[in-house]
Amino acid sequence: MKSVCVFCGSNPGQDPVYRTAAAQVGRRLAERSLRLVYGGGSVGLMGVVADAALAAGGQAVGVLPLSMSETEVAHRGLTELRIVPGMHERKALMNELSDAFLTLPGGFGTLDELFEAVTWKQLGIHAKPIGLLNVEGYFDPLIAFVDRAAGAGFVSARNRALIRVDSDPDRLIAALAG
């Protein structure tokens, strides 16, 4: 494994624990010589994870839609910033550049990215590991929903197992690295 795509919020969240976790993920990726691939923003948890990876001597590749690159959102200090026409191209390129996916707390965009990665794996479009960092129980309701969907017969046990969940960034990154 050479690159990990991190999905996370463009907002930092209200609790500093989310920023702490994002910084730890960025540092740990750099320490393991794993290139960070992410949404290319300089704000929120996206900016925190990228800044931490870069500060620890790692590489950070951002993938940003053209419309967002024309605002102050783009992180101008990255190893590489790729500008793409739109959101669909963004997710496709992030998938192409990555060997695994790790999701941190975030909002609708983060959930969209997570579930697209899971769906693509379910459909055999990729075979990359997918991790969910459950910081301070942030994803507990989502995990309960996924378990309910499995219990109700909408998600098979095999597909439920596609998402690795852990509250410890080190263990989760180690599990994704296999």
Q: Which two tokens stand for residue 164?
A: 């690795």
pLDDT digits (tens, 9 = 90+) for 86-124: 999 999 999 999 999 999 999 999 999 999 999 999 999
Instruction: State the fold for domain 3-177.
Output: Rossmann fold (3.40.50)
Query: Taking 70 as the threshold, does the pLDDT of residue 72 lie above it?
Result: no
Per-residue pLDDT band for 73 (boundaries 50, 70, 90) equals confident
Give the CA distances from residue 160 to residues 4, 25, 105, 115, in Å, rounded to whole numbers and listed in that order: 21, 24, 19, 12
Question: 83-88: which pairs have CB atoms within 8 A and are 24 or more residues apart?
Answer: none
The Cα 24–Cα 121 span in angstroms is 26
pLDDT over 90, % of the chain: 94
Which pLDDT does position 178 carry in this prediction? 83
pLDDT digits (tens, 9 = 90+) for 18-33: 999 999 999 999 999 9
φ/ψ bin of 86: left (φ > 0), alpha (ψ from -120 to 50), beta (otherwise): beta
> Model pTM?
0.96
Domain boundaries, the chain: 3-177
